[in-house]
Chain A
Amino acid sequence: MDQITLLLEGFSGALTPINLLWVLIGAVLGTAVGVLPGLGSSMAVALLLPVTFSLDPTAAFIMFAGIYFGGLFGDSTAGILLNTPGNSSAIASSFEGNRMAKSGRAGKALATAALGAFFGGTLATLVTVFAMPLLVSMATMFGPAEYFALAAFAFLAVSSVVSESIVRGLLSLGIGLALMLVGIDGPSGTERFTFGMPQLFDGLSIVVITVGLLALGEVFSVASRIHREDGSVQIIQQGRAWLNLSDVKRAAPAWVRGTAFGLPFGIIPAGGAEVPTFLAYGTEKRLAKARGDKNFGTVGSIRGVAAPEAAANATAGTAMGALLALGLPTSATAAIMLAAFQQYGLQPGPLLFSRTPELVWTLIASLFIGLVALLILNMGFASLWAKLLLVPKHYLYAGITVLAVLGVYAMGSSVVDVWALIAIGLIGLLMRRFRIPLAPVMIAVVLGPLAETELRRALAVSAGDPSVLVSSPFTITLYAILAIITVVSVVQHLRKRQRTARAAVAGPDQPAEDLSTSDTSTRG
């Protein structure tokens, strides 16, 4: 049990007062951005990345670990209390959570969510610890063709399979790949798409792209559709976030089931926690129906909150494992974590473990510490977090704007970066406005260089014969899975199109979304 010793060493590295402070800061920030709708862990990490650049990497990553999990703890709070989930990963737990809150059991719902998140996250991180040697040894067997297959899988899964529209997802992927092509080509030293501007020789910084798309793009988008009369925030009084023993007994099987759904999804590039949370929710719903549970769908079932929350954090836990061992980001947030590693000159993957083992194991240990801190913060101060929703929007977004320009400027002390930020922010606005998904850009920018290098390497070895890309069992399996899920998703999209067409025929006055439901009344 080599890992236990390494993990304990990691704990001794993480348990210094200054590192504990970073964990705490990360946990507070993460929960805060999770609670606030429209913000997420990915944006928080992107904003803080340049600011933390002068810290040593361990301290920065310890903080990012707190933010990473914190977002998933915080987003359910707003979902339960207000029915406005802070992030899409909390939608599934908001269904039952908000029902519980409305029927006067908000405290229980919050406690179930926090404990579920803790359980899922801890178990997934433990699995990561023990699966790490396996993942690392797998990664060392990978050649260029395998790495390219992984990258291609991530590209297509995020851009077309899980996103709303295949074409738009691929368009977004193309934009991301185009952005990452700018700069000097590593293998040959050729200048590409710099159009003679020396500022572009190093390429567009990942920080500029992520901050521009996620932070400034969001501010622009909020500005373009602001409504001055804000809906007054009605927070449900929640009482103490606590569970008694019988509640724990009821929730426990759902936590376990949710975690089981979440674990495998961490290493599949399926865009994050949405799919597993909905799977977990659907399972609980079916089980409740089979059991004759009357609470589910009426006054709110504790299990309907427990399972999705555990699933979300379990996904995040194993996603961290896949990121560290394989260098493969499976969600936009993981992509930004990878970008953060690259900013520090570290490349996640097998080499990271042999070169900087103390950093990796301290980071993993701080994941556990972060989870404990988050549990305490979210159980003890749930009502305080809900108050965050009362922070005036204009200060929030003005602050984000200042942080965005600050970070981008501080990175290179160059106003050119600020202009690039504005341009990318405008692209971000366009994409938000016309429903082009942003996640594929992130994945493309982060994995693009790897995909290109490995593809060229594979083809160079085979002297241009493309069959080398599908020559090993691993790549064949991966492409086969990709083909199957692509077909399924095409069928799904076609079905949706048919339904929309029928909706259009049925009557232009009828809002189309009502047609997909049977029991919703008219809008408003």
Chain B
Amino acid sequence: MTTASTAPTDARAAKEPGGFRRDSWWTGRGELSVGLLALVAAALLIVGTVTMNVRGDQEPGPQFFPIIVICLLLVTGGWVTVQALLPRRSNARVWHRPDISEDMLADVSGTNTELIKLDHLHAAAGAEDETTFDWRTFGLVLGAVVLFAVLLNPVGWICSAAILFWLVSYALGSRRPVFDIGVAFILSSAVQLAFSAGLGLALPAGFFGWIF
């Protein structure tokens, strides 16, 4: 049912349940995108710093801190890019969010196995294949948000928010599309009411505004 196309992602698990997949050069090089993101950010900062129209004669001036940030981005972004270009070795698969080092937690608690056991339970419940990127679902959700941004001013909050809610819940697997139309409109109307009556903030009324 899911049209989960195999996107260029990290080589964490460069094989599918059925066996080895034909690897293209792109397989496992998705991390390039992160490295390039940092490098592009650095490039933008460099352009901005060089062309900056500095006011005042403070020392250190407004270009001082950006230079530090540029160096940071160049080094880390370059590192990640080079790592992504090098021939890959398989990485350990981890489920824990990357904000916290799993090893450190294991060290401070004097335990290791339990974390992994939890991982097994997660895998059993979710059965996620990390190599897949669901382009269809993601595309629908992204499209819904973009559509909202386009429609908001001409059509008004009630309709555009209802469409957004409906599309996202449809994309994420709701099986009752007709019922959802009702849910979506009730939600968006309630928000509009709460905002204009309760909080005194204005949301664009769209064509409802012309009728009344």
Contact = CB atoms under 8 A, between A and B. Distances in A.
Contact of B110 (A285, A435, A513): A285
A192 B66 contact: yes
A168 B80 contact: yes
A163 B161 contact: no
Given A190-B52, A227-B127, A405 B113 contact: no
Contacts of B53: 190-191
B100 to A, nearest CB: 5
Interface string A211-247: 0000010011011111110010000000000000000
Contacts of B121: 83-84
A516 B98 contact: no
Nearest to B34: A434
B173 A228 contact: yes
A151 to B, nearest CB: 12
A476 interface: no
**Chain B's interface: helix, strand, loop or mixed, by majority?**
helix
A433 B9 contact: yes
A399 B183 CA distance: 10
A281 interface: yes
Given A226-B172, A517-B116, A460 B91 contact: no
Nearest to A54: B199
B182 interface: no
Interface in A370-428: 392-395, 397-399, 401-402, 405-406, 409-410, 413, 415, 418-419, 422, 425-427
Given A181-B66, A216-B145, A456-B65, A224 B137 contact: yes
Contacts of B58: 187-188, 456, 460
Contacts of A489: 101, 104
Nearest to A436: B34
Q: Give the most central of B42, B114, B117, B148: most A CB within 10 Å.
A: B114
Interface string A192-210: 1101000000000000000
A398 B34 contact: no
Contacts of A249: none
A171 B76 contact: yes
Contacts of A227: 2, 126-128
A92 B108 CA distance: 11
Contact of B60 (A162, A228, A460): A460
| Interface bracket on B | 35 or more
A271 interface: yes
B145 A224 contact: no
A415 B121 CA distance: 43
Nearest to B88: A504
Given A167-B80, A220-B142, A188 B165 contact: no
Contact of A523 (B115, B120, B152, B168): B120
B191 A223 contact: no
Contacts of B80: 167-168, 171
Contacts of B55: 188-190
B91 A512 contact: yes
A256 to B, nearest CB: 18
A434 B153 contact: no
A504 B116 contact: no
B62 A188 contact: yes
A165 interface: yes
A57 interface: no
A278 B108 contact: yes
A402 B125 contact: no
A88 B113 contact: no
A395 B174 contact: yes
B103 interface: yes
A430 B34 contact: yes
Contacts, number: 330
Contact of B37 (A83, A175, A189, A397): A175
Given A405-B161, A436-B34, A223 B140 contact: yes
Contacts of A395: 169, 174, 183
Contacts of A88: 96-97, 99-100
B153 A415 contact: yes
Classify chain A's interface size: 35 or more
B137 A226 contact: yes
Given A223-B141, A405-B148, A409-B152, A434 B30 contact: yes
B73 interface: yes
A508 interface: yes
A513 B52 contact: no
A501 interface: yes
Contacts of A512: 90-93
A354 interface: no
Most chain B Cβ neighbours within 10 Å, of A192, A223, A419 = A223
A164 interface: yes
A524 interface: yes
A206 to B, nearest CB: 17
A86 interface: no
Contacts of A216: 145
A275 B90 CA distance: 28
A393 B172 contact: yes
A174 B74 CA distance: 9
Most buried by B among A225, A398, A406, A493: A398
A492 interface: yes
Interface in B25-54: 30-31, 33-34, 37-38, 41-42, 44-45, 48, 52-54
Contacts of A91: 96, 105, 115, 118
A389 to B, nearest CB: 12
Contacts of B37: 175, 427, 430
Contacts of B72: 170, 173-174, 177
A294 interface: no
Contact of B33 (A178, A434, A496): A434
A274 to B, nearest CB: 5
11 contacts: A94-B118, A164-B102, A165-B98, A187-B62, A226-B172, A395-B183, A401-B165, A418-B145, A434-B31, A456-B65, A459-B60
Interface of B: 1-2, 9-10, 30-31, 33-34, 37-38, 41-42, 44-45, 48, 52-56, 58-62, 64-66, 69, 72-73, 75-77, 79-80, 89-94, 96-128, 130, 132-135, 137-138, 140-142, 144-146, 148-149, 152-153, 161, 164-166, 168-174, 183-184, 187-188, 191, 195, 199-203
Complex A-B, nearest 4 residue pairs according to Cβ-Cβ distance, in ascending order: A282-B109, A394-B172, A171-B76, A512-B92
